[in-house]
Amino acid sequence: MNHPSPATRVAFLGLGIMGGGMAHRILGAGFPLTVYNRNPAKAAPLAAAGVRVADSPAAAAANADVIISMVADDAASRSLWLGESGAITAVAPGAVVIESSTVTVSWVRELAVAVAGQGGEFLDAPVTGSRVHAAAGELNFLVGGPGPTLEKVRPVLAAMSKTITSLGPVGSGALVKLINNFVCGVQVAAIGEAIALIERGGLDRAKALEVLMNGAPGSPLVKTMAGRMTAPDYTPNFHLRLMAKDLGYALQEGAGHALRLETAAAALKVFQAGIAAGLGEQDMAAVIEPMRANAPKGQGASNK
């Protein structure tokens, strides 16, 4: 395959919170684009802009030079690639497959073998960033796979990104992404518990949070989550259920290396409580609500 140019044909599979914004960035960069989404309604804005909408993953991938997947988990990715009318059957020799979903290292390696069997090339390239970053083309790609393959598709990734980091062989991007997300999950659970304790302790919440946000705990993520938790605003930027999934995947990877990720395990319990409370489709900031719901009567914060 020739070095990609704006004539490079791109197939994008999965148009959820992240994928929709990413696909729009590819379109805006001038690449011929075909998309597929299990729910065709999510493709309507792209169709209105002239993008071809395929009726199956295989139909989307047919004749594509670069095929990108962005779905929820291992099961969704496996179905997309290897299921009925799966995209793997349409991967042409020399085409580059990019799995940008947050999935397990074992599935990434299995998919890489399947792609190689079709004569294609493979990168695992999950991203950090939220819905806002996807729409703005400011994602950070974490790439596992051969350097020459990355260079072939760099212009495509550049259309969606702020940074592109090559981390090593296939699986490296997937593992770093799970490590990144479990650390994020621990922080979100911790600030949720902290705000709940502030409220139950009857403190002036604004003053107490000012101390935390301007001190060592005040990471960018913690500041964002504190703002959303106190608003409260749970419009999804990152679904609560997906953070629970990522924490579970991180625990699985840790176990594979004889390492028990105790903080990830504790955070997963907090997120599972959120799912049990019916908050799985809300933003992960909603993880605080079960803590608030269990507050004894008469306890709360002064929010002046």
Three-state SS sequence of 121-179: EEEECCEECCHHHHHHCCEEEEEECCHHHHHHHHHHHHCCEEEEEEEECCCHHHHHHHH
**Token digits of residue 160:** 């969606």
The pLDDT assigned to 216 comes to 98
Residue 294's φ and ψ, nearest 5 degrees, are: -95, 10
Q: 122-133 pLDDT, tens per residue? A: 999 999 999 999
Active site residues: 177
The pLDDT assigned to 304 comes to 44
pTM attached to this predicted model = 0.94
Q: State the helix-helix crossing angle for 240-256 and 172-200, rounded to 10 degrees.
A: 120
138-141 LR contacts (CB < 8 Å, sep 24+): 138/162, 139/22, 140/164, 140/165, 141/100, 141/165, 141/173
The pLDDT assigned to 62 comes to 97
Residue listed under structure tokens 């990104």: 161
Q: How many angstroms separate the CA atoms of 292 and 146, rounded?
A: 48
Q: What is the dihedral of CA 203, 206, 209, 215, to 10 degrees?
A: -120
Give the amino acid at 304: K
Please list the ranges in the chain whose pLDDT falls under 50. Answer: 1-4, 301-302, 304
What the chain holds in terms of domains, given with CATH numbers, is 10-169 (3.40.50.720), 175-293 (1.10.1040.10)
Q: How many angstroms separate the CA atoms of 240 and 289, rounded?
A: 12
Cβ atoms 295, 196 nearer than 8 A: yes
Beta strands (DSSP E) in the chain are: 10-13, 33-36, 52-53, 66-69, 96-99, 121-124, 127-128, 139-144, 161-168
The pLDDT assigned to 303 comes to 59
Q: How many angstroms separate the CA atoms of 264 and 185, rounded?
A: 7
The pLDDT assigned to 297 comes to 65
